[in-house]
Amino acid sequence: MTGCYDSLPTAVRLVEVAPRDGWQNLIDFIPTETKVELIDDFGSCGFKEIEVSSFVSPKAIPQLKDATAVFKAIKPLVGLVTAALVPNRRGLTPALVAGVDKIVFFISASDTHNRKNLGCPQKQTLAEIEAMFKIVPDDVARRVSISNVFGCPYEGDIAFPAVARLIESLAAFGFEEITLCDTLGVATPSQVYNFSCRLQESLPEIDFGLHLHDSCGRALACVMAGLQAGIDRYDTATGGLGGCPYAPGAAGNLATEDLLSCLDLMGIKTGIDSGALLAVAQRQAQVTKIANSHMLAFSAGYNGE
């Protein structure tokens, strides 16, 4: 690598989010034991963190109604962090009882999307997050994900100052890990680079990550922009599954296979076994009955074709 690629991170952390974000919109319920088997298989691939499920209302997300049972059944692995998305205090208590390693709070950069997704204004969610942050024991990690950072289906572009003010409030609560989410999948590489550089410059103590959807086919290009800005943590979903029920038109997440293949070929370490991931991708495709074109390209690349 030469020129602008000389300063890229030498290692990248991939957070597998298929079990939560990837499966949440599936209509056919995946049996709990099958979920557990797949999550255990993901763990064996070398991921350091997996977003396992979400403690939300079963009426809102029926697919994840078995979050407690899943967490209690998955195999604990040394070095693997199991995370759960938690929207409010009603979900926080069962998450802590289930033994979740990391609580992921979430809020939207768009007040309109926040009202549709969480049923309340952004200001109210911010207060709820502050209250929950204080309740979580010190031995449980905490992260907050901000949706629609780069564009909202209802409000359009979100101005950087509004995003920065929200992040400053969250940092003041004590968050050290914040993920910037392109929920709609409309971010441009220049936007990702600009936001990432400015935020890291003003808040160098925060571990920023990116969560990218691929609606416009720009997710991988946005990763390159993030890498150039020094971001080394990315949410991905095997098979490119996912999408937000309150972001009409949004495609799935950046496929783990696509990013892993690219990083491997660039010599950037992830610690993930590509062969093991391919096997899990095949099993997931069989379970979900969703064809995986990412898996086909991934397999061909590693066969040298």
- Give the residue numbers marked as catalytic: 244
DSSP secondary structure letter of residue 173 = H
Stretch (H or E) spanning 23: none
The amino acid at residue 249 is G
- The Cα 227–Cα 231 span in angstroms is 5
**C-alpha dihedral over 17, 19, 25, 31, to 10 degrees?**
180
Tokens representing 140 are 């449980």
- Angstrom CA distances, 72 to 60, 128, 252, stand at 22, 26, 28
Pick from 272, 274, 266, 270: nearest CA to 294: 274
Pick from 148, 175, 174, 176: nearest CA to 162: 148
Pick from 43, 44, 40, 63: nearest CA to 53: 63
Tokens representing 252 are 């799935």
CB 213 within 8 A of CB 243: yes
Q: Where would I find the H helices in the chain?
A: 32-44, 67-73, 89-97, 111-118, 122-135, 160-173, 189-202, 219-228, 256-266, 274-288, 293-302
Stretch (H or E) spanning 236: strand 233-236
Which residue's structure tokens are 């298989």? 41
